[in-house]
Structure 1
Amino acid sequence: MGLEKDEGVCVEDIKLVMKGHMKDGYEFIPISSLSEKDQDYNRDPSLDDRVHVLVCVITGSILGMQDDSVKKLRKFCSVLAEIPEIAILTKIDDTCPEVGKDIRNVYKSKHLKKKIEEVSGVLGFPPSCIFPVKNYHSELETNDDTDTLILSALTRMIEYGEDFVNDL
């Protein structure tokens, strides 16, 4: 379940997940939020129960995001400001023809830089926390340049999460 307007996860439920108050196996109900009275409510979450980093995966065509989804995302991100936030910008080869021709142009592309700034403006994440990646979709073999971008984003996720835990 995503952030869809009427069918997506309730913002309150996402906040509870982030803070570790939701037990494993809980089934999200779009029309209502988990309450402290429910059996799936974790009253005393441990550090292991909490989310250590928020990763938003966004397609390179950010214009495809619904305003309601962006509003929902901003709403709970502002409340959970203590949790590190990063965005993974996917399908960069479809977004930028220059990168589509050669993935090594990823950090040279003015078009992609503009797209990262656009995502930064929409979500409120600093551009340094937005990581571009190319998706594998029809390739039969892996590619070192594509893997480098993916592994770099994964490394940042781990580092941000470790920093969060260490700061506690």
Structure 2
Amino acid sequence: MGNFQSSPPPPSPKVLPHEWRNLPWGNKMRDLQIVKDYQPFKEDIQLRFMLYGPVGAGKSSFINSVDSVLRDKITHRAAADSLYGGSFTTQYRGYKIQKEPGTHYPFVFNDIMGLERDAGKGVCVEDIKLAMKGHVKDGYKFNPVSPISEGNQHYNRDPSLSDRVHVLVCIIPGNTAGLQNDDNPSQLLTEDFEKELREVRLAARDMGIPEIAILTRIYLTCPEVGKDIQNVYKSKYLKKKIEEVSGRMGFPQNCIFPVKNYHSEIDTNDDTDTLILSALRGMIESGEDFVNDL
């Protein structure tokens, strides 16, 4: 009898044979070093990234995930909630990430209250616009029914370039971003949501602020990504998802970054870190270009 060799399992119909976007798996340390070496061309500027999006999309979790990658340990500095009963973030707050004792990376993340379906809940779109212009100080408690007034102690009347937002980051939950399929028929981004998101985008355009979209919960969007995160750029579902988000919300496809936030892990993972670093590099490059063009 000849030697019996089992044939390889057939490819999943949900996974393409080749990546539709190249990502240098296994080169985490190279990307990490690029971020560590980054210094703004204008020395007196620290880049400001402001995150916005629907309640429960993973804004605070993304900040924690970036913090975890850069500090090589799981962190929980930005308060996040797994119940999604309403926005867990109620105040405007900036997060710096420690680099070495006494020093920080030259960028800051601003977390805001999430957008909600119902009127009178969630962040006011006008507050997002004012924050982009640098008029909102850390510690401001969002009022869902009215934006900050000039008489508020947290209103910044004369914002500097550092106070302004340099990159607007839209956090979109990948498993509920509107593309319905057999595995996940739910839909979170309704027409009302999209109108608010579009209003914010148009305001950013008028201010010249670059935008990045982060697609979270990718392991729930496609089961094959849940099995192996390196399938992210082979996934047919994620490819369609990014195409749909681009078509419905206007983000260029190369400005949409799928990531997996840390949520149950107790240690970091190189492949998860690679996706997060890819998004972070895109944010840094966009912010640097914006600041230098002013």
Answer whether TM exceeds 0.5 for this pair: yes
Task: Please point out which of 147, 153, 163 is paired with 2:289.
Answer: 163
- Report the 3-state secondary structure (helix = DSSP H, G, I; strand = E; otherwise coil) of the residue aligned with 1:115: helix
Query: In structure 1, how many angstroms separate the alpha carbons of the residues matched to 2:137 and 2:267?
Result: 39
| Aligned residue identity for 2:125 | V
1:118-137 matches, within 5 Å, as 118-137=244-263
Matched, 1:90 2:216: yes
Query: In structure 1, how many angstroms separate the alpha carbons of the residues matched to 2:201 and 2:209?
Result: 9
Asked which structure has the greater CA Rg, the reply is 2
Query: In structure 1, how many angstroms separate the alpha carbons of the residues matched to 2:272 and 2:233?
Result: 13
Matched, 1:74 2:198: yes
Partner of 1:3: 115
Matched, 1:154 2:280: yes
| Aligned residue identity for 1:148 | T
| Aligned residue identity for 1:154 | L
Corresponding residue pairs, total: 168
The alpha carbon displacement at 1:92 in A equals 1.0
Matched, 1:60 2:170: no
Query: In structure 2, how many angstroms separate the alpha carbons of the residues matched to 1:122 and 1:142?
Result: 33
Partner of 2:24: none
Task: Please point out which of 51, 57, 60 is paired with 2:165.
Answer: 51
Greater Cα shift, 140-149 or 52-61 = 140-149
The alpha carbon displacement at 1:37 in A equals 4.3
Between Structure 1 and Structure 2, the one with more strand by share is: 2
Partner of 1:22: 136
1:62-107 residue CA offsets vs partner (Å, 9 max, x unmatched): 1222332221111121122111111111111111122222211211
| Aligned residue identity for 1:2 | G
Bigger relative contact order, structure 1 or 2, given CA contacts below 8 A and separation 6+? 2
Percent of matched pairs sharing the same residue = 71
Partner of 1:103: 229
Between Structure 1 and Structure 2, the one with more helix by share is: 1
Conservation of the 8 A alpha-carbon contact between 2:218 and 2:225: yes
The alpha carbon displacement at 1:39 in A equals 4.1
- Report the 3-state secondary structure (helix = DSSP H, G, I; strand = E; otherwise coil) of the residue aligned with 2:141: coil
1:24-39 matches, within 5 Å, as 24-39=138-153
- Report the 3-state secondary structure (helix = DSSP H, G, I; strand = E; otherwise coil) of the residue aligned with 2:122: coil
User: RMSD value over aligned CA atoms?
Assistant: 1.6
Greater Cα shift, 139-148 or 16-25 = 139-148
Query: In structure 2, how many angstroms separate the alpha carbons of the residues matched to 1:75 and 1:163?
Result: 23
